[in-house]
A and B are shown apart, each in its own frame.
Chain A
Amino acid sequence: MSTLEVKNLHVTIEGKKILKGVNLVMHTGEIHAIMGPNGTGKSTLSETIMGNPAYKVTQGEIFLDGKDILKMPVDERARAGLFLAMQYPAEIPGITNAEFIRGAINARRPQDDQLPIRQFLKDLDQAMEVLDMTEEMAERHLNEGFSGGEKKRNEILQLMMIKPKFAILDEIDSGLDIDALKVVSRGVNQMRGPEFGSLIITHYQRLLNYIVPDVVHVMMDGRIVKQGGPELAKKLEDEGYAGLRDELGLDIKLVDEDA
């Protein structure tokens, strides 16, 4: 079992304080969900765990199996077992999707034990079938010209192929039609098991019907303000964030609230 631990994390972007002391512990075998209003720092948390150099940690620590990862560059964290399905994946015209995924898999294997191409193609075929992706998507340039939904599927394809210890899925459901939502959930559920943990960021309780979480966290104004089981997500869906805020007696202004 692996453990990912975020301790009192503070993050600033361009001088602005975004995360103000986030604490979170998760283990492989568990699925956690984070919900929270727009602009509260969910993507900031994901990017900081992954190691995006644009985000500055001013305080706090992140441990993967007891090892402080804050000093590790993003590629090293990836090879250590972290994965982030991004809210806005980049388009890279220099490499085909299949070539890229194979490169990513082999980057975490020793030189003398690279994944044989046949095995790779077999695995790729299987994963693409689960995700209802056409073969042609493998030969296209990485994300180039992919539709919003295709990009999301492609993030999950990479997840299934790379098999990280911990995957953060940032709004993997946004822009997906209902069928695609089921397909993508099928992919994630297939990963579920004692060797895999996931942190799912979403605005919609619907996704959590397909991927049922063990723990739900609510984030507001750069902090995790409440934790609970799947029922917490349902409650939020019904009552909204203002209700929870008032219940907790927090002094936070929500983006879509009139002054």
Chain B
Amino acid sequence: MTIDLQKYPAIAAYAAQTNEPAWFSELRVKALQAAADLELPTFGKIRYQRWPVQIKRPLAYQASDPQLLSDVKLQSAKHIIIQLGQTTVRQQGLTELAAQGVIVCDWQTALKEHPELIKKYFMQKAIKYDQDLLTAQHVAGVTSGLLVYVPKNTVLNEPITSYFIQDATQKQDCVHHVILLADENSEVSYLENLTTIGDQPTTASIVVEVIAKAGSHVKFASVDRLGAKTTTYLNRRGHLDDDAKIDWSMGMMNDGNIVGDFDSDLIGSGSHAEVKVIAISTGRQVQGIDTRVTNYGKHTIGHILQHGVILSRSSLIFNGIGHIIKGAKGANAQQESRILMLSKKAKGDANPVLLIDDNDVQAGHAASIGRVNAEQLYYLMSRGLPQKIAERLVIRGFLGPVLEVIPSDSIREQLRDTIERKLVNGQRDE
């Protein structure tokens, strides 16, 4: 099928400006056509449908001025790639990775230099491009992203760090895609930082596909700090083959409304997903987080641990879904979701769901929503600590069980700092 790009002038113009390969532009058109018949997905109790979460602005190439980053504090790292909007502003320590066959490159480069990988994996395996309206809009509109490929039997000792800074100084939507492909028996640790610069109201559609081949081990960590005026659809999906493992550690420290869909498909036998989420909602924002692990393979393990804190008039919804498919003998699905309320006006919702289609399995869940322990607060204050500091200490204790099991010291530290900052800012509106 050949598609007449002239009927899609925005795509044609964008393709011309960025030298996009024709096969990818055609994929955009296919997704756009599919979108006409697709609907918004539902995520349990997260009611996001009326938010401006859909990508409505036409595809457009827009460069961002790297000078915008002059005041932004970025952690240094050995292997790092920094993108601002559609512009890649810095890459460091990637050539030594290339020597080992490891690919780390931005989206435009990936389309041109690694089309075979993109064709095979982009919205094909972990997520289908026509799964729903949001995924289709994502494919039609993607303008930035990252490809990470780690070859067979390659063990990387130093993490790969990526910064993606959404450029909201301009009125442009942000559609960003990441493919992290860990080939057989490889090991990689990846840290993703999502932030926003500028305060134009914008929509972000961010999809991350982690494909963990047999025997691989991926440590995925994120510190998400998208801006107050950014409405975000964030989908992170893992696809695991035999004996693969993904450790997800996600810090949801965004300031705007966000719907997060974090799924792991345990396809191969013996595969294992650990999903750790820490979320803090402040002001009037809503963060809805739908975390699912599906056990398809035998002896698969899926653990979900999510702790969140809500301040002011904010909301936080934790859906936890453990789904064991028939035939997944010996599978294990455990989950725990807890929310701590700092304010009477904040809303928290923790919904555990276990769907079990096989008998020979282990499954369990725990969920709670509670207020700050008054005795703890009193004790701390009775030694002279002001209330807000005392509250932050109680919160630290509450988040400790998730923080302590995050498998990286530096990420734990970074998350701890981010949490402190988000709480201090959030307490100002109390």
Contacts and interface: CB of A to CB of B under 8 A. Distances in A.
Nearest to B381: A75
B389 interface: yes
Contact of B397 (A73, A83, A108, A141): A141
Interface string B385-406: 1110110011111111000000
Interface in B355-373: 373
A91 B400 CA distance: 14
Contacts of A50: 382
A86 B379 CA distance: 9
Given A86-B379, A93-B400, A75 B395 contact: no
Interface in A53-95: 53-54, 73-75, 78-79, 83-84, 86, 89-95
The SS class assigned to the B binding surface is helix
A190 interface: no
A78 B395 CA distance: 22
A56 B374 CA distance: 16
Contact of B383 (A51, A73, A104): A104
Contacts of B51: none
Interface size class of A (residues with CB under 8 A): 20 to 34
B378 interface: yes
Contact of B375 (A73, A78, A90, A95): A90
A148 B236 CA distance: 47
A74 B394 contact: no
A73 B387 contact: yes
A83 B381 CA distance: 11
Contact of A93 (B379, B380, B382, B397): B397
Interface residues of B, number: 24
A95 B386 contact: no
B378 A74 contact: yes
B381 A78 contact: yes
Contacts of A54: 374, 378
A53 B378 contact: yes
A83 B382 CA distance: 7
Nearest to A107: B384
Interface string A190-230: 00000000000000000000000000000000000000000
A92 B385 CA distance: 14
B376 A92 contact: yes
Nearest to A144: B397
A52 interface: yes
A78 B384 CA distance: 5
B386 A75 contact: yes
B392 to A, nearest CB: 8
Contact of A108 (B373, B384, B398, B400): B384
A162 interface: yes
Contact of B385 (A52, A75, A93): A75
B393 A90 contact: no
A192 to B, nearest CB: 21
B386 A107 contact: yes
A92 B384 contact: no
Contact of B378 (A79, A90, A91, A94): A90
B385 A94 contact: no
B132 to A, nearest CB: 40
Given A53-B378, A90-B378, A92-B379, A79 B384 contact: yes
A90 B386 CA distance: 17
A120 interface: no
B301 to A, nearest CB: 27
A47 to B, nearest CB: 9
B383 A92 contact: no
Given A50-B382, A74-B382, A162-B384, A103 B389 contact: yes
Nearest to B390: A75
Nearest to A86: B379
A78 B376 CA distance: 15
A103 B382 CA distance: 12
B229 to A, nearest CB: 32
Nearest to A85: B382
Given A73-B381, A74-B382, A89-B379, 13 more contacts: A50-B382, A53-B378, A54-B378, A74-B378, A75-B385, A75-B390, A86-B382, A90-B379, A92-B379, A92-B397, A103-B385, A103-B389, A107-B385
Interface of B: 373-376, 378-387, 389-390, 393-400
18 contacts: A51-B382, A52-B382, A73-B381, A74-B378, A74-B381, A78-B381, A90-B379, A90-B380, A92-B376, A94-B394, A95-B393, A95-B396, A95-B397, A103-B389, A104-B383, A104-B384, A104-B385, A162-B383
The 7 A-B residue pairs with the shortest CB-CB distance in the complex, in nearest-first order: A94-B397, A94-B396, A78-B384, A93-B397, A90-B379, A104-B383, A75-B381
